[in-house]
Amino acid sequence: VDRLETLYQALTAKKSSATPPGGLIARLGKLLGKNEPDAQIPVRGLYMWGGVGRGKTWLMDLFYHSLPGERKLRLHFHRFMLRVHEELTALQGQIDPLDIIADRFKTETDVLCFDEFFVTDITDAMLLGGLMKALFARGITLVATSNIPPDELYRNGLQRARFLPAIDAIKQHCDIMNVDVLAM
């Protein structure tokens, strides 16, 4: 709970001075040949993992509902990936579709809460490295729940090496908390 309180304080204190993607400054940058968005440093998020029934979802929901404003999004991880796949289908033929998707998420949220982060699908695994990097580069803070630690995500999956950047991004931008240790 202390870690969530610290995260809450950091998020509510953060002043948003960034121009939303697609704004005038972003468009001028594209005209001048600047394709990369200005990297924003997200508030360090939280990845909570542990056994079933430990209260991870309850804690995340309590945190989510306590955040003021509307620039927050809470999704079951499966629903998030479904949305990503739908957007990828609509963006076929576009250059850097993961960046476009990350821009779209940034237009609606600064905090992304995932419930039940779990990867079994090779397609999801291949997408997540680039997508996580793009979301974090836009200053989006991640709060996630999972039954397994990040290093165990997609364990023994096909071409797991291509998923490792997603794990690295999570570990770089989130504190990792084992709720089973807290329950003892």
Q: Distance (Å, rounded) from C-alpha 85 to C-alpha 92?
A: 11
Gap between the Cα atoms of 13 and 9, Å rounded? 6
Gyration radius of the chain's alpha carbons? 17
What is the domain count for the chain? 1
Q: 131: domain CATH number? A: 3.40.50.300
Residue 24 has pLDDT above 90, yes or no: no
- Among residues 89, 170, 162, which one has the least CA distance to residue 135? 170
Domain enclosing residue 153, as ranges: 2-183
pLDDT digits (tens, 9 = 90+) for 113-155: 999 999 999 999 999 999 999 999 999 999 999 999 999 999 9
pLDDT given at position 16:
44
Q: How far is CA 116 from CA 38, 80, 143, in A?
A: 30, 11, 11
pLDDT in tens, 75-116: 999 999 999 999 999 999 999 999 999 999 999 999 999 999
Residue 77: CA count within 13 A, CB half-sphere: 21
